[in-house]
Amino acid sequence: MLGAASYFEADGITVEAEESHTWDWGVSVVQGWAAQGIHPSTLIVHLGNNSPVSSGDFDAMMSAAGGAQVYFVTVYAPSLAEHQAEVNGALEAGVARYGNAHLIDWD
C-alpha cells in the first residue's frame, strides 16, 4: 500500500500507510479518525504481515469502521506460508460474518 500511496493521494484518497505496523495499530488509527468525527465511507485495510489476526481483532476493526464498506487485502508472504494461511483464514472468516466487509486477494 505504501508504494501506491502517491497514486491514491493524487486522486484525493487519504492513505495512512507506514511499514511494519500491526493490526492493533490499524484499529487505533480508525478509532482516532472516528474520535475526530472522520467517518470514511470506504476503507481498504492491508495489515497482517507483521502480526497475527484473530476473530476479535477483525471484529475490533469492523467496530471501529462503523458502517463503512471495508475491503481487506489478503497477506502475500510465500516465505511465511503458515502465517499467511492463518491471517488469510481469519480475514476470510471475518468477511463472511459482515455484509459490509469484502476480500481482495493479493495473490
Average confidence (pLDDT) over 31-41:
94
More confident residue, 38 or 14: 38
Q: With contact defined as beta carbons under 8 Å apart, do 69 and 43 qualify?
A: yes
User: Model confidence over 37-75: pLDDT tens digits?
Assistant: 999 999 999 888 888 899 999 999 999 999 999 999 999
The answer to whether the predicted template modeling score (pTM) of the entire model surpasses 0.85 is: yes
CA 2 to chain centre: 13
More confident residue, 84 or 15: 84
Which residue type is seen at 14?
A: T
Does residue 13 register a pLDDT over 80?
no
Cα–Cα separations (whole angstroms), residue 52 to 38, 72, 88, 100: 27, 14, 10, 22
Q: What is the pLDDT of residues 81-103, one digit of tens each?
A: 999 999 999 999 999 999 999 99
